[in-house]
Chain A
Amino acid sequence: MSTISEVHAEHDDHHHAPRGLMRWVLTTNHKDIGSMYLWFAFAMFITGGAMAMVIRAELFQPGLQLVEPNFFNQMTTMHGLIMVFGAVMPAFTGLANWLIPMMIGAPDMALPRMNNWSFWILPFAFTMLLASLFMEGGGPNFGWTFYAPLSTTYSPDSTALFVFSVHIMGISSIMGAINVIVTIMNLRAPGMTYMKLPLFVWTWFITAFLLIAVMPVLAGAVTMVLTDKYFGTSFFDAAGGGDPVLFQHIFWFFGHPEVYIMILPSFGIISAIVPAFSRKKLFGYSSMVYATASIAGLSFVVWAHHMFTTGMPVQAELFFMYATMLISVPTGVKVFNWVATMWKGSISFETPMLFAIAFIVLFTIGGFSGLMLAITPVDFQYHDTYFVVAHFHYVLVTGAIFSIMAAAYYWLPKWTGKMYDEGLGRLHFWCSLVSVNVLFFPMHFLGLGGMPRRIPDYALQFADVNAIVSIGGFAFGLSQFIFLYMVIKCIRSGEPAPAKPWEGAEGLEWDNLPSPAPYHSFTTPPEIK
């Protein structure tokens, strides 16, 4: 099998791969585009991380030491926007680009030229967003949730840039999602039925539908902000007959599915890694698929759990409470299935598995705090405090980001054809694991103790815990450079990797392709029994 693919690889080089910078600018190859997405996401992760460091440095002590409150708000806003739209989402799209064709036996993504566009507009969106920091009045300072009327009547002049960059991010996401759907529906190898798709492909398939459903809603919301601010409409202005709470309904109708967009592909990744290192098939494949679909479905009917304090009829509060609680059932099924997969396996602990195990534990902790937040009467107390900040960082950082790290380690040999340095991988893992918990766990206490989120200065009683949190933050930030070093070292001087470096790994990418994977994955589709 490998000889055939090597012949293809040479053949590809002759005909399709231009050299130099233009190779990257003009490329329509899913692997090039996947790599660019991943590097871009990492750059944004570091940029957004630097902003988090500014925030944590300011919060190290009570009082204002380093930044003005207005700049502090710009930092929290940009940090949130960059991490969500610049780091997590592009990283998942990068993984989708790299892996989906290899996993379903396709030569490339179905719409390669669109693929090129959907990547290349992103750097422009984020350049524009970052540039707004240098405008008079500064960048967006209204939180990544940009509640009106703070983001309309009271926002800085750079709001137009913010709106346009969100439009571009949205267009990019939609194009990416269309490509994923079309690829999965049309380019599966013969015999690859839906119920044989690897779970990563399934979770991305469902995620892509979520994206197409909600990104236009976000686009609508920002456009309404734009016209309210610059063209005299009053969608969100009570004085003109509008309603600021309407903004929140629209925003969260996008925003809640959005948080699932940032976690569903993780479920697919973990469902590939846990079986591989347990040397056992995934427990309950079909219930995993159904659980993912029901989480996606439920995500559309729970948006108002972000808005319990805005004042809603009590019937609505009850409905949103029950619906939100329900989500923990399919989520629980997933966690139980992973544990059952490990049960009576033959487990080994290479770096991807370490990240996967940490994911299961820490994501579950985030799930528990989520269940607590679902209980409306108690949510009144938690809402907009550091308890919430702790919750969503457990699901986003130790959830989404950890799964992305796990994926990077797991597939790096397939991408580069080289093995990474296992020692560095473990070092990165342990440093991240310890620091991330020092960073986010004490935030639960801050929230319960009464510290609101998004404040640049706080009462004296919160001082000690904030100092600890900040130290955890700096340590976590530094740990990520181990990862960067590990990747560079792997690319430049790693040991050559076999086609299937992981004993228990399953899937077309391991069994039917050499490492590194050839430029075009499958020029002749593999036959699946």
Chain B
Amino acid sequence: MSFNLRPGVTSISEQVYGLHMTIFYICCAIGALVFGAMFWAIFHHRKSKGAVPAQFHESTKVEIIWTVIPFVILIGMAIPATKTLLAMEDPSDADLTIQVTGSQWKWHYKYFDQELEYYSVLASDWGEVNGKLSKRANYLLEVDRPLVLPVGKKVRFLMTSEDVIHSWWVPDFAVKKDANPGFINEAWTIIDKPGIYRGQCAELCGKDHGFMPIVVIAKPQAEYDAWLAEEEAAYQAKQAQELALVAMTMEQDELMSLGEKVYEKSCAACHQVNGEGLPGVFPGLKASPIAVGDVSKHIDVVVNGVPGTAMQAFGKQLGLKELAAVITYERNAWGNDTGDLVQAKDVVAVQNAAQ
């Protein structure tokens, strides 16, 4: 582990590192003086050595000196700090804009001017967390879909949130900005070196605050372009596939097995693997009025979320097939046994009704 701040890979992060070290050294010097004088007094002006107390207890001159000198030192610190801060807070003339949206507990990245957006969630297995599997090297610092950025371009981030306050932090870029619900914050970076950079959410955002990592892969422009083209194509193919799904009917086995996977990835964090929820915090689904009641109400809750609660709208996060599967799963797992099979077209019907 590094015991100090890292210089990072942007010119801003290097300036920040420089400031950090300068102020650290100044503090060390002042500390050496003050503690030095104190320990000198402790050793030499000890009663047990027969020291006789002096009578002075005031000196306007020294008191003025030790008010003015720190003041001057502070001005010396404030000047470079001001310069760096002004540079940091200037997101103008960006080459590329990414919207970063936090929610409990995942990040959503949207590339402006491109047809591409996706969610990024923790990739460490819960088995690793509770000690059933051995932990991989980047335990808690790995995600299923990292953010990919080009090297040497000014990237502007627009931060916002769908529920509580999160904070997007990548130490190597010296970027940390809160994602506030209902408001947009700006930040920017120019990454100097290709590589993989890791960070974490830095604002207490609820139960899984510790499980909200950020991974950024910085690629040279050509590689980045190739990656982007590929992702956009895949994104469009996926949209087309979604349309085709509406006409299809899936079997119970397929729905249930896919549904279980989706449930564990997207729902179990709150409603728990056994569907019992956390009493008083997150409602259980086992035998709940919604999960065994009217199907379209159930679909509506999953697709559109419940405003003002922790229940997010999963309509955008999951594909039609996954939505159909997970709702089917919820209606038939843990002894819910409604026998209902939900198909993609049922989901679409609810989506259309909402519009």
What residues make up the interface of A, taking CB atoms closer than 8 Å to B?
A: 62-65, 68-70, 73, 135-138, 141-143, 147, 149-150, 153-154, 156-157, 237-239, 243-245, 278-285, 287, 309-311, 314, 317-318, 321-322, 325-326, 328-329, 332-333, 335-337, 339-348, 357, 360-361, 364-365, 368, 371-372, 375-378, 380-381, 383-385, 445, 448-450, 452-462, 464-465
Residues of chain B at interface, number, CB under 8 A? 101
Assuming the contacts A340-B62, A372-B27, A454-B209, asked whether A143 and B141 have C-beta atoms less than 8 A apart, the reply is no
A44 CB to nearest chain B CB (Å): 23
8 tightest Cβ-Cβ pairs between the two chains A and B = A238-B182, A137-B280, A455-B210, A136-B280, A311-B185, A344-B54, A281-B57, A368-B27
B185 surroundings in chain A (CB, below 8 A): 310-311
A357 surroundings in chain B (CB, below 8 A): 38, 42
**Which one, B81-89, B215-223, B331-339, is touching chain A?**
B81-89
Instruction: Give a binary string over B71-111; 1 marks a CB under 8 Å from any A CB, 0 the rest.
Output: 10010011001101110110000000000000010000000
Q: Are B85 and A62 in contact (CB under 8 A)?
A: no
B203 surroundings in chain A (CB, below 8 A): 147, 309, 384
B182 surroundings in chain A (CB, below 8 A): 237-239, 243-244
Chain B residue at smallest Cβ distance from A445: B3
Give Cα A143–Cα B31 distance, bound, in whole angstroms.
33
Give Cα A219–Cα B120 distance, bound, in whole angstroms.
39
Q: Does B140 contact A (CB under 8 A)?
A: yes
Q: Does B199 contact A (CB under 8 A)?
A: yes
Chain A residue at smallest Cβ distance from B41: A342
A456 surroundings in chain B (CB, below 8 A): 210
Give Cα A400–Cα B145 distance, bound, in whole angstroms.
46
B19 surroundings in chain A (CB, below 8 A): 375, 377-378
Give Cα A368–Cα B176 distance, bound, in whole angstroms.
22
B9 CB to nearest chain A CB (Å): 14
Assuming the contacts A372-B24, A462-B1, asked whether A150 and B206 have C-beta atoms less than 8 A apart, the reply is yes
Q: Are B84 and A325 in contact (CB under 8 A)?
A: no
Q: Are A317 and B41 in contact (CB under 8 A)?
A: no
Give Cα A229–Cα B351 distance, bound, in whole angstroms.
29
A136 surroundings in chain B (CB, below 8 A): 279-280
Give Cα A460–Cα B137 distance, bound, in whole angstroms.
7
A358 CB to nearest chain B CB (Å): 11
Give Cα A336–Cα B37 distance, bound, in whole angstroms.
10
B138 surroundings in chain A (CB, below 8 A): 459
Assuming the contacts A143-B204, A346-B52, asked whether A149 and B27 have C-beta atoms less than 8 A apart, the reply is no
Assuming the contacts A244-B181, A336-B66, A361-B35, asked whether A450 and B171 have C-beta atoms less than 8 A apart, the reply is yes
B34 CB to nearest chain A CB (Å): 6
A324 CB to nearest chain B CB (Å): 10
Chain A residue at smallest Cβ distance from B15: A377
Give Cα A287–Cα B62 distance, bound, in whole angstroms.
11
Q: Which of B45-77 contact A (CB under 8 A)?
A: 45-48, 51-59, 62-63, 66-67, 70-71, 74, 77
Q: Are B54 and A345 in contact (CB under 8 A)?
A: yes
Q: Which of B14-50 contact A (CB under 8 A)?
A: 15-16, 19-20, 23-24, 27, 30-31, 34-35, 37-38, 41-42, 45-48
**Which one, B146-154, B160-168, B226-234, is touching chain A?**
B160-168
Q: Are A342 and B45 in contact (CB under 8 A)?
A: yes
Q: Are B281 and A156 in contact (CB under 8 A)?
A: yes
Q: Are B16 and A380 in contact (CB under 8 A)?
A: yes
Give Cα A445–Cα B132 distance, bound, in whole angstroms.
29
Q: Determine which residue in B104, B199, B204 has the highest number of CB atoms from chain A within 10 A of its CB, and name it.
A: B204
